[in-house]
Chains A and B, each alone.
Chain A
Amino acid sequence: MTGWLDTLLVLIVLTNLKLLGTSRLGGCIRVVAAQGVLLGGLPLLAGGGLLAPRALLLAAAGVGLKGIVFPWLLLRALREAKVQREVQPYLGFTASMLIGAGVLGIGLWAGSRLPLPTAVRSSLLVPVALATMLTGLLVVVSRSKAITQVLGYLVFENGIYAFGVGIAPDAPVLVELGILLDVFVAVFVMGIMIFHINREFDDIDTERLSELRDWRPE
């Protein structure tokens, strides 16, 4: 069991690195979808028993939402926006990947420092969750296209979800479903906003969204 869980976590790390290194928007969306599917399998391996109904329900909801619905929403938003489908990062790809590797190191260091009261199934779980969160934040901050900001937010939420599955595997199903629902509505609303951004600017680059400020150079 531990071996499978470790493999799953390593695959999640690989999706993080791939996201940092991909330049095409469609590719980025598919990588995040793959990560969502991998995370859907997490409750089955890390939480209660393999076939506990609670774990199955959460796994099904996770895979369905993150693996199917979100990419469909985002790909549709991307299709509507007939824009240049390349990511334009403030931070180069090589630097992003190196920082991603560094972030993994930070996650491992922090994970070994935090004293975990309950036994976590794998010692990789907390570091990978932290690394995923930091990768998500890195993507939000260093990419300028609106869709990549949504993807960064999704990866950030994925990291928190992984952390939650490892740390508090017995949280009420209702809360977990509520969180999933919130993330779904968030992605939905953001997708609509991207559609409007595209209609407004014929472009989904958030550099255009810098008009409002307090001091204008005279």
Chain B
Amino acid sequence: MIPALIALPALAGVAAFTLKRDAVRRALLIGAAIGHGAMTASCWWRRPEPVASGWLALDAAGLLFLTLTSLLFLASAVYAAHYLRHEERGRRTDFKEGLLFSNAPEAVFTGCLLFFLSTMTLVCASRHLGLLWVAVEGTTLASAPLIYFHRHHRSLEATWKYLVICSVGIGLALLGTLCLAVAGAGSEGGPASMVIDDLIARGGTLQPDWLRLAFLLLLVGYGTKMGLAPLHTWLPDAHSESPSLVSALLSGAVLNCAFLAVLRSQQVLEAGGQGDLGRNLLMTFGLASMGLAGVFVLGQTDYKRMLAYSSVEHMGILALGVGIGGAGARGAMLHAVNHSLTKGVLFLVAGNILHLYRTKEVAGVRGLVRALPISGPLWIAGMLAVTGSPPFGPFLSEFTVLYGALEQGRSVVAALYLVFLAIVFVGMGQTVLRMSQGPLPEGGPAPAAGRPAGAAEPWTSAMVPAALALIVLMLGVYVPPALDAIVLEAAGLVGGR
């Protein structure tokens, strides 16, 4: 099962490069997404057996993140079909600076999307730390061409920064993996097994100094990919310059995969008896990310950058939750689910806004509720969800993290947490409400290609975020027992309850 999960998107990707007709390629994309989703769903029924002598297996956290990835990819694939059909061919004019540019070939885009899914699946399923590294670096390389879809100098800059910063950061993670191998070498002098289960079993024999050094390097390295401050500098540029569905995947899927890698490191650290160091570091990075995101969200002029900084904030919440432990870890796992889905909603809606209004500036968007009857309210609902308002899902998970902090008597942490959440709420709320209300700009928004001004919003592009939003709403009211069980089991991996 697991090899099939990895191989299906990879083979589809290869096929996408060779197909000539766009319609067939888009159908292949959706087909591969559906197939991947179906196989993932069957894993819930019956957990697949470990393969390749324990190198590939799905534990609770892996299954959880795999499901999120698969679901988000399916949503993006359906959205992509509509998006690609309406992207103009050949020379286009950039709306920001008026320069001419063109898009990347669709075959490259679709192929890289499928390779991206394949490498993310490999990250979720990998139990060998070396293989995990290869997979995380693979996600970086597969997603770089995706960011460079609109071929102009801003996206080129974003792609270059993404490539260099993430590659160097992940290189540090490789150094950490090697240090972990030294820590696990033990006194017998035999070759150290880098399979996580072996490392956890031999936790007592891990050399503490090397283990601590390894964790620090792994946290910094994978933290760069995850978007923890101050290593997040590539995130706003990459998320704002790439097409919206790619941003949704980057925020909702790849950041989670990097978080999974950090989780694995924390697991090994706990087994070695140094869990406190890990938790303190995670809490520090988490609070720093939330604080920094709050500062940059206030007064942000580009709404996609605002969403990117919101992702930094939520990654901070995830790190903070795991750092607090106990109920906090459970909140963090649930929050991963809620955040991915909500960010999916927000970015896809942002794509719709961009398509209609032809600007990424907040000041250029007014009267959203009137112009886009479905996406407008979704935009407001998404903002409420992502800033933690009931009745949406993130409220439950953020509350659980807060409960975990208070339960352990960490009042300073809890106070800072609430302050940062409030700052982001004010910042985002202000921006989103200003965009949504008010009259339409003079002359109306620029008509999108193929749609006369004033016509109703095409339901195909609004249907996908609406479906995701419904799931988020449901999760705020009722968490299915199967999901709850998986979340609890995943939290238990890092000592949560």
Contact = CB atoms under 8 A, between A and B. Distances in A.
Interface of A: 115-118, 133, 137, 140, 146, 149, 153, 156-157, 160, 163-164, 167-168, 170-172, 175, 178-179, 181-182, 185-186, 189-190, 193, 196-197, 200-201, 206, 208-212, 214
B182 interface: yes
B174 interface: yes
Contacts of A146: 160
A178 B134 contact: yes
Given A153-B168, A193-B163, A208-B153, A214 B300 contact: yes
Contacts of A168: 178, 181-182, 185, 191-192
Contacts of B43: none
Given A117-B185, A182-B138, A211 B175 contact: no
A189 B145 contact: yes
B355 interface: no
A211 B154 contact: yes
B207 interface: yes
B171 A163 contact: no
A189 B163 contact: yes
A160 B182 contact: no
Contacts of A160: 171, 174-175, 178
B131 A211 contact: no
Contacts, number: 118
A121 B283 CA distance: 40
Interface in B77-120: none
B133 A156 contact: no
Contacts of B236: 212, 214
A212 B163 contact: no
Contacts of B131: 175, 178
Interface residues of B, number: 50
Given A137-B168, A157-B171, A170-B191, A193 B159 contact: yes
A156 B144 CA distance: 20
B153 A201 contact: yes
A155 to B, nearest CB: 11
A171 B130 contact: yes
B301 to A, nearest CB: 8
Given A118-B185, A140-B168, A167-B182, A190 B128 contact: no
A73 B193 CA distance: 35
Given A133-B175, A140-B164, A175-B134, 19 more contacts: A115-B209, A117-B210, A118-B182, A160-B171, A167-B179, A168-B181, A168-B182, A168-B191, A171-B130, A178-B131, A185-B138, A185-B141, A186-B141, A189-B163, A193-B148, A193-B160, A193-B163, A210-B157, A214-B305
Nearest to A156: B171
A175 B130 CA distance: 6
Between B141, B152, B154, the greatest number of chain A beta carbons within 10 A of the residue's beta carbon is seen for B141
A209 to B, nearest CB: 4
B249 interface: no
Nearest to A184: B141
A196 B157 contact: no
Contacts of B128: 175
B399 interface: no
Contacts of B140: 186
A37 B235 CA distance: 35
A52 to B, nearest CB: 14
Nearest to B175: A160
Contacts of A185: 138, 141
A178 B175 contact: no
A200 B153 contact: yes
A197 B160 contact: yes
Interface in B129-151: 130-131, 133-134, 137-138, 140-141, 144-145, 148, 151
B216 to A, nearest CB: 14
A161 B191 CA distance: 17
B207 A212 contact: no
Given A117-B207, A133-B175, A200-B153, A179 B134 contact: yes
